[in-house]
Amino acid sequence: MFNEIDNSLLEKIANLTGKSVDALNIRKDSGCAARQSTEHIEITEREDKRGIVIRIKDGTVGEKCYIPVIITKTGLQEEVYNDFYVGENCDVEIVAGCGIHNSGCNEARHDGVHTFHIGKNSRVLYAEKHYGEGDGEGKNVMNPQTVVYLDEGATMQMETVQIRGVDSTKRSTKVVCGAGAECVITERLLTHGHQEAVSDMEIVLDGEDARGRVISRSVAQDESTQLFYPRMVGNTRCFGHVQCDTIIMGDAKVRSIPEIAANSTEAQLIHEAAIGKIAGDQLLKLQTLGLTAEEAEERILDGFLA
């Protein structure tokens, strides 16, 4: 069912190798290539539009759900809507991601809209990795949209990674936190060549004692461009922190616009942003240990994005 290219993409974006016993839905070239529900996690096709519905039963603990997308046809463009309903008192991991192999001259694009409804006192770890490759001239484009609603005491830990090969991406994320809920978003991004990346993010701390944190780390190489616009909104007694750090190289251009908005005297909000090049003393220290300049640079970047 899956060829060598498919398997390579699935391993890169979701660490999927061989047969899985977990719940999964693998989408390939606008169709369902594999689907598997479990006793506690049900995956069904949407009836109103293209996409799936994932329902996780109350009290589900220690289970994973894989929902990767791979595209191997040049010129293929799709928009997919996935809805997640996580019951109360759950502790689960959801692994998404999109990989494109484009060997043609036409644009290949995946626009994914994910909406999460996370029940009381549940914890969700959500990992999403994007990757593009191919020897054609067609562009690889990914535009993910993520909307999260956290009930009382719920937690969402979101890890988003863009490796290489994505020519254009516009990421839109919105999280609404109820009382005592917590959202932690870690974003790691690398752009090179003439790639463009935009990240628009809003975390609304709507319930008392809600907490939010955004940690964004990126590297902009060559003539690529990046724009970050994370916003933390505090509507009541809450705590929020936004941190954006970027290494800029070559002729790249980066704009970082962190924003905090307090609508209550009890809101405590902090933001930080830094853009700079690799320090010369760091390169020199690694070179004295036997690394070439290129190896030292790569080691620093790997550590920064880890």
Of 188, 191, 82, whose CA–CA distance to 132 is shortest? Answer: 191
pTM, two decimal places: 0.93
Of 180, 182, 30, whose CA–CA distance to 111 is shortest? Answer: 30
Q: What is the dihedral of CA 35, 91, 80, 144, to 10 degrees?
A: -140
Which residues, listed in sequence order, are joined to residue 205 by a DSSP beta bridge? 177, 234
- Please answer whether residues 145 and 176 qualify as being in contact, where contact means their C-beta atoms are separated by less than 8 angstroms: no
- For residue 135, the model assigns a pLDDT of 86
- Angle at CA 51, nearest 5°, toward 100 and 126? 70
The token duo for 25 is 């839905």
The token duo for 1 is 């069912």
- Go through the chain and tell me how many residues it has: 306
Per-residue pLDDT of the chain (306 residues; tens, 9 = 90+): 789 999 999 999 999 987 888 999 999 999 999 999 999 999 999 999 999 999 999 999 999 999 999 999 999 999 999 999 999 999 999 999 999 999 999 999 999 999 999 999 999 999 999 999 998 889 999 999 999 999 999 999 999 999 789 999 999 999 999 999 999 999 999 999 999 999 999 999 999 999 999 999 999 999 999 999 999 999 999 999 999 999 999 999 999 999 999 999 999 999 999 998 887 677 677 677 777 778 777 787 777 877
- For residue 293, the model assigns a pLDDT of 75
